[in-house]
Amino acid sequence: MNVSTIVTRLTGLPIPQVRYFDSISSTNDEALSWAAAGASDGCLVVADQQTRGRGRLGRRWITNPGAALAFSLILHPGPVEQERFGFFSALGALAVCQALEGMPGPRPQIKWPNDILLDRKKVAGILVEASWTGEKIHSIIIGIGINITPQAVPPADELLFPAACVEQSPGKKIDRLDLLRAVLQALFAWRSLLPGDGFREAWEERLAFKGEWVRIEQAAIPAGKELSGQLIGLDDSGSLVLRRSSGELIRVAAGDLHLRPIE
């Protein structure tokens, strides 16, 4: 993998410039710095290895050489997108889901708000960050990490949720640049529809654990008092809708929480 190969494989997509690193601390950190220095909308950072990659809430995200796909896309939101920042994690998740649907294997699902599952195991995560100029968003960074080979999956004792990789079956091989192109192509297509009814419906259609009983573990909820209910779907704001055992419908916004199925 190198810059010229990546640029060639992404021909036709609205990506003005690519930075590639054999090893980097974090593609999101590089993208934030590049955006602050004047990077255009659609500029892309790709790395073979991340030494200090991170997921949501600062959790560590491992990216071993040759084993995963790690990249960050710089976007400059227009006036309408300024009001829709909360949907950009879903934008990345929906794009990854759609790209994986074009490949052999189980149907991918979105574990709300920002993870991708295959066979109920996490294979990808989205980290969205923003830089601000006063009260206006200057840049949005969509960081995406996808486990490609078994070497990308952390040891079980380091996991908060079961993990897997895209190459789950023996002999199955994934071209990382084919997958990168498919994800970016889907992301740019869905961006123009964000967050209309078609966008929300596509998100909800791929929602993991829909119809199942789930629990929400949250720092603000005392131990043993976690929230639980049947996962009904999403509201217009992208919040999760649960039905309690009493029949009451409640809405949960993304934050410092963990969503878990009740087996």
Upper half-sphere CA count for residue 246 (Cβ side, 13 Å): 5
Give the structural domain span for 249. 213-261
b/e 183-206 (16+ beta carbons within 10 angstroms → b)? bbbbbbebbeebbeeebbebbbeb
Candidates 259, 261, 263, 237; CA nearest to 251 is 237
CATH of the domain at 248: 2.30.30.100
* Residues 169-226 pLDDT 10s: 656 789 999 999 999 999 999 999 987 889 999 999 999 999 999 998 875 555 555 6
Residue 136 contacts by C-beta under 8 Å, 6 or more apart in sequence?
82
In this structure, the number of other CB atoms found within 10 A of the CB of residue 120 comes to: 14
Domain identity same for 42 and 155: yes
**Pair 154, 36 in one domain:** yes
The SS3 call for residue 8 is helix
| Model confidence pLDDT, tens digit, residues 86-105 | 899 999 999 999 999 988 87
CATH of residue 177: 3.30.930.10
Counted domains in the chain = 2
Q: Please say whether the beta carbons of 144 and 183 come within 8 A.
A: yes
- Whether 198 and 247 share a structural domain: no
> CA-to-CA distance for 130 and 62, rounded, in angstroms?
22
- Which residues of the chain carry a pLDDT beneath 70? 53-61, 169-171, 219-226, 256
